[in-house]
Structure 1
Amino acid sequence: MSVLIKKAAEHWEFVSPLLRKPKNEDDYDMLARALDELLEMTGDDESHPLMSLVDIIGDWIAEWDRKHHPMREASGAEVLGYMMREHGLSQSELPGVGTQSVVSEILSGKRQLNLRQIRWLAERFGVSVETFI
């Protein structure tokens, strides 16, 4: 038996919970907590020896989230509302979208963003046009 396998076998009891894909929410929660701890240990050091474990656990968590906690797509109006809150903007502070009443109708879902407005918003907030589509 190689030294590497022998060492792994000696410590398997302690390491194995981290090296299994989640099968239920409890497994998922345990891996999420472990990932938080690992990220505190590794920080921004991409060359840290534990980064490969961070990558593995992160991939498993992302896979579980895609399958079991899918995020719905946000509408352009929802994204606009979020961006306005984040930037502390009022409806009247978006002249490229239109008047305050036009912005209000967009936010309430009575009107859709058009391509010109989307382009203006993407430039205003420094994001891609896909953000509002």
Structure 2
Amino acid sequence: MSYAEAIEAANSLVKIVPMLGSHPGRNDYENALLLIEYLVEYEPDSPLVEMLSAKIDKYERTAPEFAEFNARTAAIPAGVALLRTLMDQYQLTQSDFENEIGKKSLVSRILKGDRTLTLRHMQALAKRFDLPVSAFIE
């Protein structure tokens, strides 16, 4: 394949695959999400997965409509963010952490940011979920 053919193929791809252009919009973003879902399920080895993932990530980090969300997310301590993710992933409630953290009220205060995870909490959570303690450290 010549350089000219490669450039022509790339330009054709940009025209038909959402988000690969230089100025993606909201519709491109939504279409890219649908396409990546399809690719992950049916064609996980496609090079489009990596290309689209990078474009989606960049769009989500820089698009004005995500600015407030990104700011709120950045303000959440890493350990609390991980705890929320684990709760969601394993469908756990605040009451499910009595052995690792304590009473539901303490878990609630930690999730709200009124209290912080102690080293003992982090060690217990790391052991429960088979993760390194460092994953919970800010």
Query: How many residues are matched?
Result: 125
- Name stretches of at least 5 consecutive residues in structure 1 with no aligned partner: none
Once residues 92 and 56 of structure 1 are traced to their aligned partners in structure 2, the CA distance between those partners, rounded to angstroms, is 39
Larger RCO, structures 1/2 (Cα 8 Å, 6+ apart): 1
Amino acid at match of 2:37: D
Once residues 73 and 130 of structure 2 are traced to their aligned partners in structure 1, the CA distance between those partners, rounded to angstroms, is 23
TM-score, L = length of structure 2: 0.60
Larger Rg: 1
Q: In the alignment, which residue of structure 1 is the partner of 2:73?
A: 72
Match of 2:122 among 95, 98, 118: 118
Q: In the alignment, which residue of structure 2 is the partner of 1:42?
A: 43
TM-score, L = length of structure 1: 0.61
Once residues 40 and 81 of structure 1 are traced to their aligned partners in structure 2, the CA distance between those partners, rounded to angstroms, is 26
Amino acid at match of 2:132: S
Amino acid at match of 1:16: V
Using the aligned pairs only, state the percent identity.
24
- Name stretches of at least 5 consecutive residues in structure 2 with no aligned partner: none
Q: In the alignment, which residue of structure 2 is the partner of 1:33?
A: 34
Matches within 5 A, 1:1-133: 2=2, 5=5, 8=8, 15-17=13-15, 18=17, 19-43=20-44, 46=45, 51-68=46-63, 69=66, 70=70, 72-73=73-74, 74-75=76-77, 76-77=79-80, 79-80=82-83, 83-84=86-87, 86=90, 88=92, 91=95, 94-99=98-103, 102-103=106-107, 105-107=109-111, 109-129=113-133, 130-131=135-136, 133=138
The two structures, once aligned, show a CA RMSD in angstroms of 3.8
